[in-house]
């Protein structure tokens, strides 16, 4: 991907990683249901929201926009289903 889409790539990699972890989890079936996938995505959105809130509360000078940006990229996916 182009350098301009680094945030999008980072978010997609996080989704792929989380889904693979859920799939290989002990006791998981062969395939994830759509409900299980949505739970994983909602968990990622929640994690990024909490992380962004913590960063904003601490107000560090090196605050990056990557966390809020990845949350903005993930949220529409969760709302479509």
Could you tell me which residue, 19 or 71, shows the higher pLDDT? 19
Closest CA to 10 of 64, 56, 79: 64
What are 60's two structure tokens? 């560090």
Average pLDDT over residues 27-48: 85
> Looking at the whole model, is its pTM more than 0.75?
no
Contact yes or no for 44/18 (Cβ under 8 A)? yes
Residues 6+ apart with CB under 8 A from 36: 22
Percent residues over pLDDT 90 in the chain: 14
Other CB atoms closer than 10 Å to residue 28's CB: what's the count? 12
17 — pLDDT class (breaks 50, 70, 90): very high
Mean pLDDT of 5-28: 85
Predicted local distance difference test score (pLDDT) of residue 2: 60
* Cβ contact 7:66 at 8 Å: yes
């Amino acid at each position: 991907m182009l350098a301009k889409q680094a945030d999008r790539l980072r978010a997609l990699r996080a989704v792929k990683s989380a889904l693979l972890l859920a799939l290989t989890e002990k006791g998981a079936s062969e395939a994830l249901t759509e409900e299980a996938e949505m739970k994983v995505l909602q968990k990622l959105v929640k994690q990024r929201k909490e992380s962004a809130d913590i960063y904003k509360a601490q107000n560090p000078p090196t605050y990056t926009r990557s966390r809020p940006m990845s949350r903005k990229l993930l949220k529409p996916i969760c709302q479509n289903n």
